[in-house]
Every structure is written in structure tokens, then in C-alpha cells.
Chains A and B, each alone.
Chain A
Amino acid sequence: MVNQDFRIKHGSFEGPLDLLLSLVEKRKMHISDLSLAAITDDYVHFLSANPIPIGQTAEFIFLAATLMLIKSRSLLPGFSITKEEEADIAVLEGRLAHYQAIKGAAAMLSLELAKPRRFFRRPSAPLPKEASFRPGTDGASLAKALHAAITRTTSLMPTREKIPQTRVEKKIRLEEVMQSLLLRAKESLGTTLRGFTGSGKAETILGFLALLELVKQGTIKVSQNDHFSDITIESLSLGVPAYL
């Protein structure tokens, strides 16, 4: 199978949108930025507790980042977001509503398909008036006719899907990033987010998610002097300072 479905105890999800929608519906909520903010934790928790199909990691993380943005906006009154981010959120809500409607339609169709159906009269092959195999008189036109027939036949066969050759290099788990971030903060003073993640986009997003999660758990303290400036991280967990 091309699709890498993945399953958890309470059902199976195909892709980030499917997961998000089922989380919203599980809480019997309507699609809005309020409900999305409320299920951000569920979503992140799901990601950290379940293996994500490697081909879809980027989609799952991108959605996590948008959810974080929505949640941040709902928690911090002074938090302002850009027009582009505003549009991202609107698009996400629109896509969810769209997908929800399609799922509703699928449920209806499934019921309809179980109802009595119609049958067609099978067209019977007309009897040829005389045996007719006329490939032409010369070899070239026969070859051409055969080629056309073969091309038509092969075009009807399912084609093998092209699988992209470049893949995500390494699967990074949120949990692992959290652990290494915590260790780093414990061992050295003045750890910064940028210093920890480097410049990669995926690493930065994951690092930031890990940081938010650790702040929530109360294991680290962070400070930032200015918008978009680097974030300084301090460990709050008690322990003997490690003089190495």
C-alpha cells in the first residue's frame, strides 16, 4: 500500500487533518479557533505518544505549529499575529469544515450504496457479418496497428507510483528533543534556543514545541528580551550542579 495508515487504540487516522478533525469531534465541538486552541494539547500529546509515518512528518509538524499559534493567541491577550498567519488559520478552519462535510457525505453514500441498485442490460457483442482480420498488406501497417493496440492496453494498466527519492533524513521525536533540551539547559548556563536548534526549519519548530512543552511542565524557565530575539533557557529542576 502506498498510504501509510497508522492506528491507535481508538481508531485509525489518515493524515493530520483526519486526526485533528477526530479530536475536535471527540470533544463534540464545532470548528472554531476556540476549539482548535482547546485541542492543541491533545494533538501534541498524540504526536509525542505515537509514531508518525515518516513521509508525513512535515505535514503533522506544520499543523502543530499552526495550532500552537492559535493557542498562543487565545491565551495571550496582547499577542498579535501577522496577516499571513491570520490567513493560515482561516485556511485551516476552512479545510477542516470542508473535510468534515466530505466525511458526512461519505457516511450518507455508504448508506445509499447498501440500498437496491440498478442493473444495465449487458450489451451483447454484435455478430460479425464476416470474419475480419485485416492488418493491412504490408508489415509496416501491421506493426503500427499492433503498436497502437499495445499502447492502448498498457495505458489502461495501473501505473506504478513514483516515490520521491529524497526523504526526511532523520526522524526526530518530540520526546527526544525535549530530553536533550532539558539536559543541555541543566549542564550549561545560558543555553539559548537558537544555539540548541541550529538553523534548520524543522529543528527550530521541533525545538520550539519541545520548549513550550517543558515550560508547561514547569521544568525550565525561559526569557526573551525582545520580539524575535533569541530565547534563553534555564533549568528549574533541582539537582547538584554538574561541575564537569
Chain B
Amino acid sequence: MEPDALIEAILFYTAEPVPKVRLGELLDIGDSEIDDALAVLRTKLEGRGIALMDHDGEVTLATSTGASPILERLEATEERALSKSALEVLSIIAYQAPVTSADIDQIRGVNSQSALRQLLMRGLAKRERASEAASYTYTPSIDLLAHLGIGQASELPEYEPLRAFLDKQKTETL
């Protein structure tokens, strides 16, 4: 069986994000072959009810955006809109990840802890740190991408130019 089909089977079975490295181990093939296989799978899934998501070194299957209305009816979920501050913090995380909470406070000029906590609780941001001594950094969660209906962070609106601008500003002012 082709690697893309095997990956599809693994992702369907696990139903949660799987590190690409793990796929390589399971299939016993290299990183670039995994990426090729993922590209094939992504193309084959075009127009289908499920789509491939690729974020932060992990891949998973999720439903296509076109199925959203019917699934929303199925789930009957209605989520409260995010506050203005939470949206700003979310944008900082989405476009400048990884960021620390100090970076976020500096950019907004105010303490952003409660907005940050709101995002963590709703699973829109992911918190991690390299070691006990390091400070936490925040990155978008794969759930955030799902909420936005995109498959990878680079599909965020205006991602490339905005990221470049923000990185430039950051080195000049932080």
C-alpha cells in the first residue's frame, strides 16, 4: 500500500495529532518522503469530507469546512465570542509564535494574563516550556486552526507579510 494511504489509515485510527517523526518511524521512511506522502494525501482529499491538517510538526485529519453547518447542527454548539483583548492576544500568538507572556504584555502595553488564561481554557492556545527553568511560550493550538477552517498556520490571512513586519518591529523595539 502507498505511504499516503497508510498515513491516512494511521490518522483515521488515532483520531488525534500524530508527530510526523512518529509516522516516519512507523512507515520506516525519511522526513522528505513523509512530506511527499502528506502532499499526495492532501491533494487526494481535496473535495472530500475530511481534510489533512499539518501544524507544529504534527498531522491529523479533520472535517472539511464545507461540512461545518451540518456538523454544527449535530453538535449544537454555540460558543461565546472572544473578548477584544482575547482576540488581540490570540493574534499575537497566531502571527508571532512562539511568544512568552512578557512579549504579549510588552506588545499590548498592559497585563494580558486573564485574556491568555481564557485562550488556554478554550484550547485555542498551547503552552509549553523547554525546561523547568525556562519561561512558558505560547503557540496556536491545532484546534485554533480548525476553528479558523485552515489546514496550517501559513494559511492565516496575510500571514507572510504580517509575520515579516512583526518580526522586524520586534527586533527593533523589544
Contacts and interface: CB of A to CB of B under 8 A. Distances in A.
Given A1-B114, A101-B166, A119-B68, 6 more contacts: A3-B85, A102-B107, A116-B68, A118-B65, A120-B143, A121-B15
Interface string B1-23: 00000000000101110000000
A46 interface: no
Interface string B86-122: 0110111011000000000011111111110100010
Contact of A116 (B65, B110, B114, B173): B65
A102 B109 contact: no
Given A117-B68, A119-B75, A102 B92 contact: yes
Interface residues of A, number: 40
Interface in A86-104: 90-91, 94-95, 97-99, 101-104
B93 to A, nearest CB: 10
Looking at chain A's contact residues, the main secondary structure is: helix
Which of A56, A99, A105, A122 is most buried by chain B, counting CB atoms within 10 A of its CB?
Answer: A105
Interface residues of B, number: 58
Given A101-B169, A113-B148, A2 B111 contact: yes
Contacts of B108: 14-15, 17-18, 99, 102
16 contacts: A14-B108, A95-B169, A101-B169, A103-B88, A106-B88, A106-B90, A109-B94, A112-B150, A117-B65, A117-B147, A118-B146, A119-B68, A119-B75, A121-B12, A121-B62, A124-B15
B26 interface: no
Contact of A109 (B72, B75, B91, B106): B91
